[in-house]
Amino acid sequence: MYSKCGELCYSVQAFENIEEPNFDSWNSLICAYVQNDRYEQALILFQEMRLSGRDPDEFTLVGVFDACTTFDWFKFGKVIHGSLIRRGMELNAFVGSSVVGMYSKSGVLSNAKRTFEDINLKGFVDAMALQLGRQVHGLIIKSRLAVDIVEANALITMYANFACAREAEQVFYRLEIDKTIVTWTAMIMCYAHYGCSNEALELFNQMESLNLKPDGTALISLLIVSCGDFHRLERSVERIMALEPNDLAAYLLLSNTYATHGQWKDVLKARKLMKQNGFKKEIGKS
């Protein structure tokens, strides 16, 4: 309470009057020192905490790494991070964001990027995950570090999950290395889910022009963006049949599409195609 009011001396006095400080007490004063730019005192208190036999928890570590963003204490923070790695401690996004911040503010962008890749985001709030992803993506751009295809796919998927289609688009089109099926599909799926039907179809066409065979996810995306337009859906299903001639589901979908729109002659044509390709199952029969 005192530290939030800027009255650091009262926080120190309150701490000194505690016979056996608990984690909250240690962490509160370390945080108070950091908030008041008393980084040296924060790190001295951290050392005293360790000497008292208490291992730091995630709140302690966040305070310590925040204190080590200045040039004078960066090496100390790097040593602490190294000790965590040697002990096999897995960084969650809460602590990891502070470590990434420490490295990025100190200009060690390669370490910031590597740390981000090691962070375990499981179980953490989505907002923090997106913030971390954007932070590292920004570092990659500023430092002109080469983005490998796995990182690019992860960034596109991350932005797609958070409805950030334009950011995903930037990653996709700025990629200087050859895109894989996964890369194309991730971007097509992103467009499809957020209603960018023209963009999704254009990208699908580009992928086909490069002789890249769409996978199941890309084909599903093609159907998603075609659902509101009968003729577009018809063409999409026909393309899927051309790509996957042995896929019964495509024939059934084509037949159902015609039936839904009252195109009964075309329904018969679709069933005839099914029989010609060796499918015995007909609509309405199990």
Contact 74, 104 (CB under 8 A): no
**Residues 95-114, mean pLDDT to the nearest whole number:** 80
Amino acid 186: pLDDT: 83
The answer for residues whose C-beta is within 8 angstroms of residue 244's C-beta and 6 or more apart is: 219, 250
pLDDT tens-digit readout, 6-40:
567 777 888 888 888 888 888 888 888 888 888 99
pLDDT at 160 over 90: no
Residue type at position 17: N
Q: Please, how many CA atoms are within 13 Å of residue 194, restricted to the half-sphere of its CB?
A: 16
Banded model confidence at residue 2, pLDDT cuts 50, 70, 90: very low
Banded model confidence at residue 41, pLDDT cuts 50, 70, 90: very high
pTM for this prediction: 0.43
pLDDT at 45 over 90: yes
**Residues 120-129, mean pLDDT to the nearest whole number:** 50
pLDDT at 113 over 90: no
DSSP codes of every residue in 83-102: HHHHTTPPPBHHHHHHHHHH
**Residues 33-54, mean pLDDT to the nearest whole number:** 90
Higher pLDDT, 237 or 204: 204
